[in-house]
Amino acid sequence: MPDIRAFFLVIGFAVTRETKQVELTGAEIFVRSLVEQGIDYVFGYPGGAVLPIYDALYQQDELEHVLVRHEQAATHAADGYARSTGRPGVVLVTSGPGATNAVTGIATAYMDSIPMVVFTGQVPTALIGNDAFQEVDSVGITRPCVKHNFLVKDVNDLAVTIRKAFYVAMTGRPGPVVVDIPKDVAAARAEFHYPKRISMRSYSPVTKGHPRQIKKAIDLMLTAKRPMLYTGGGVILANASSQLTELTKLLGYPLTNTLMGLGAFPATHKQNLGMLGMHGTYEANMGMHHCDVLIAIGARFDDRVTGNIDKFCPTASVIHVDIDPASISKNVKVDVPIVGPVDQVLKEMLKVLKESKQKPDAAAQKAWWKQIEEWRAMDCLKYDRDSELIKPQYVLETLYDVTGGKAFVTSDVGQHQMWAAQFYKFDKPNRWINSGGLGTMGFGLPAAMGVQIAHPKETVACITGEGSIQMCIQELSTCKQYGLPLKVINLNNGCLGMVRQWQQFFYDGRYAMSYMESLPDFVKLAEAYGHVGMQITKPEDVEPALKEAFGMKDRLVFMDFLTDKKENVYPMIPAGAGQNEMILV
């Protein structure tokens, strides 16, 4: 009996081969699948296990491959591409060290819910588990920091797996997906069919918020005496900035953005109180602490936002809109949970609000805004404008002026990141690109490459420090190869500023390892890579230098600003304190 069945299978296979299209190699299927998926750029680095795929890339011209200098940079560049466009970033790296180098970038994307598909080469299936050359268990290593991952063991599954990978990465709460492709799978042949639509019985993201919950939320919002909108990266990921802006203006309530949410509502609008949290503004944090209805949208009550959770928003009823049910009531108990896509929920909220006969309590709002304006008058971001040293805040304010607030800004991690978030006023979404969740130093420069590649005509600035920039500085070479005219703003204070600040505040000034000795000459370094280098040492030179640099449209300019070594980021909520217990200047 089995013999007969096998016989028919062989016949069936032969017939299909004749009547259907020719077979492609796994590598060709990879290329065709990405093209079908609408992908234009792949960020990557070749190696033994991905040689068949690179050979297929060589023989086509629909996908452009960007060669980075380190796999970590490939993931950050794809991440920057994704954050600035809303489209998924794509990475291709080899097995073993290629995959492990990519892990930092994958974890970075995971923490900030960035859609990304990372293809890792793998040793041939017959060698898996044999401790082969350049073998690691990529699926095992990446499992805790991906939304999902796949090992493709049969070339016949490759196209559908790639389709699933993009589907999972881009829908629901987005995130990175890893697809591990053994070398023999890339070389084997199969028919190519890329499914246009896909469904998975084990994965069906919510597409609609519950109407009754939405109605309940609007009712609660309209009874508020001291309301506060608190919005995060989820609004930007859902492309819901216009709905949020309309709703906020319609309600007339104060709003604060998280670090990830900057730009979702115009920073220059008077209803925007700026960023909240550990280095948020006084008015935003005080507003949070005293509000009676908190409207959280696409934000996840991160510890850097809440401070001491026991002291968080003690008098507030909480409405929380999020695509991820697991984000709701994870850290803070929510009174009106709404699980759904932020854009759809906000549209529905607008509809319900416009139909509602009830209006916000005008007298209560007047009193609440009076209080907020008093907090705002504290001018918590003030700094010494007469200093003879370059104040980092001044560089960023001037950068904002010189670029007309229109630049795409990436940042690394540390003090410069916080100052950028405080002083560069983002009026549009997708323009502020930083590693918020994982806090990955080395993110800024490669992310800026991804942004510039996605937006060749736009101004892209990378705000960094002399610590962070050295974690991925090799990418200056990639920038040269692809002619990326980034502007690198290096706020060089000669120390790991945020570490030093904590050591000053909480470790009695024992500055363990927070000083950077033997720094390179950044001007010469930039020149060595074929770029323009500048060093700025005096406050009066800041503006002319920025103007000159941003005037050079086709060159990468590395600007090394020697800034005040002792400047700290204020306000600051110390660990364990409540939002109303800020350290001010």
Comparing CA positions, the residue from 175, 194, 201, 209 lying closest to residue 79 is: 175
Q: Residue 194 or 203: which CB sits closer to other proteins?
A: 203
Would you say 319 and 298 are in contact if contact means Cβ atoms under 8 Å apart?
A: no
CA distances from 292 to 175, 220, 225 (A): 33, 10, 7
- Residue 417 annotated as catalytic: no
Laid out side by side, the sheet with 460-465 consists of 432-433, 408-411, 460-465, 487-492, 557-562, 532-536
Backbone phi and psi for residue 532, each to the nearest 5 degrees, phi listed first:
-95, 130
Check binding of 551 to other proteins (CB under 8 A): no
**Measured distance CA(348)–CA(300) in Å, rounded:** 21
Q: Residue 20 or 143: which CB sits closer to other proteins?
A: 143
- Residue 373 annotated as catalytic: no
Q: Residue 59 or 130: which CB sits closer to other proteins?
A: 130
Check binding of 157 to other proteins (CB under 8 A): no
Of 59, 133, 200, 333, which one is the catalytic site residue?
Answer: 133
Query: Using a CB cutoff of 8 Å and minimum separation of 24, what contacts does 192-195 make?
Result: 192/21, 192/23, 192/24, 192/28, 192/29, 192/32, 192/33, 192/159, 193/159, 194/32, 194/33, 194/36, 194/37, 194/159, 194/162, 194/163, 195/159, 195/160, 195/163
Tell me, letter by letter, the H, E, C secondary structure of 120-160: EEECCHHHCCCCCCCCCCHHHHHHHHCCEEEECCCHHHHHH
Q: Residue 76 or 147: which CB sits closer to other proteins?
A: 147
Check binding of 162 to other proteins (CB under 8 A): no
Residue of the chain from 56, 93, 99, 151 that contacts other proteins (CB under 8 A): 151
Q: What 3-state class would DSSP assign to 30?
A: helix
Q: CB neighbours (10 Å) of residue 346? A: 28
Q: Residue 326 or 528: which CB sits closer to other proteins?
A: 326
Report CA Rg, the chain: 26
- The contact mask relative to other proteins for 198-227 (x = CB under 8 A, - = no) is --xxxx------------------------
- Residue 134 annotated as catalytic: yes
Span from 62-70, 301-309, 323-331, 543-551 in contact with other proteins (CB under 8 A): 323-331
Check binding of 148 to other proteins (CB under 8 A): yes
Q: Residue 284 or 334: which CB sits closer to other proteins?
A: 334
Of 147, 164, 183, 347, which one is the catalytic site residue?
Answer: 183
Of 134, 371, 474, 504, which one is the catalytic site residue?
Answer: 134
Residue of the chain from 23, 36, 302, 324 that contacts other proteins (CB under 8 A): 324
CB of 201 to other proteins, least distance (A): 6
Residue of the chain from 1, 8, 22, 144 that contacts other proteins (CB under 8 A): 144
Q: Residue 227 or 437: which CB sits closer to other proteins?
A: 437
Would you say 224 and 293 are in contact if contact means Cβ atoms under 8 Å apart?
A: yes
**Measured distance CA(493)–CA(395) in Å, rounded:** 13
Span from 140-148, 252-260, 378-386, 538-546 in contact with other proteins (CB under 8 A): 140-148
Would you say 493 and 465 are in contact if contact means Cβ atoms under 8 Å apart?
A: yes
Would you say 69 and 44 are in contact if contact means Cβ atoms under 8 Å apart?
A: no
- The contact mask relative to other proteins for 100-139 (x = CB under 8 A, - = no) is ---------------------------------------x
- The contact mask relative to other proteins for 184-203 (x = CB under 8 A, - = no) is ----------------xxxx
Of 71, 283, 397, 567, which one is the catalytic site residue?
Answer: 71
- The contact mask relative to other proteins for 283-322 (x = CB under 8 A, - = no) is ----------------------------------------
Check binding of 55 to other proteins (CB under 8 A): no
Tokens of 69: 């200098």
Q: Residue 140 or 551: which CB sits closer to other proteins?
A: 140
- Residue 312 annotated as catalytic: no
Would you say 191 and 155 are in contact if contact means Cβ atoms under 8 Å apart?
A: no
CB of 147 to other proteins, least distance (A): 7
CB of 139 to other proteins, least distance (A): 6
Would you say 411 and 112 are in contact if contact means Cβ atoms under 8 Å apart?
A: no
Tell me, letter by letter, the H, E, C secondary structure of 450-485: HHHHHCCCCCEEEEEECCHHHHCHHHHHHHHHHCCC
Of 288, 349, 418, 498, which one is the catalytic site residue?
Answer: 498
Residues forming contacts to other proteins in the complex (CB under 8 A) are 139-140, 143-144, 147-148, 151, 168, 200-203, 324-326, 329-330
Catalytically active residues, by annotation: 71, 133-134, 183, 498
